[in-house]
Homo-oligomer: A and B are copies of this chain.
Amino acid sequence: MKKKIGYQGVPGSFSQQALSEYFSGANPEELLEFHFPEFEDIFINLENNTIDYGILPIENTSTGGIAETYHLLNEYDVYIVGEWSIQIEHHLLGLPGSSIHDLKQVYSHPQAYEQSKPFFKEQGHIKFIPHNNTADSARLVMTLADKSIGAISSKKAASIYNLAIIAPGINFSSKNYTRFVILSKRKEFKDTADKISLVLTVAHSPGSLYKVMRHFEEAHLNLTKIESRPIIGKPFHYLFYLDFNGNIKDASVMKALERVKNSCLYYKFLGNYPSYSLPSE
Contacts and interface: CB of A to CB of B under 8 A. Distances in A.
B210 A114 contact: no
A67 interface: yes
A230 B115 CA distance: 13
A234 interface: yes
A101 interface: no
A164 interface: no
Number of copies: 2
A108 to B, nearest CB: 10
A235 B278 contact: yes
Interface residues of A, number: 49
B235 A222 contact: no
Interface string A197-223: 000000001110110011011001111
DSSP majority for the A interface?
A: mixed
Interface string A211-249: 001101100111101111110111110101000000000
A7 to B, nearest CB: 20
Interface of A: 59-65, 67-68, 85, 110, 114, 129-132, 172-175, 177, 179, 205-207, 209-210, 213-214, 216-217, 220-223, 225-230, 232-236, 238, 240, 278
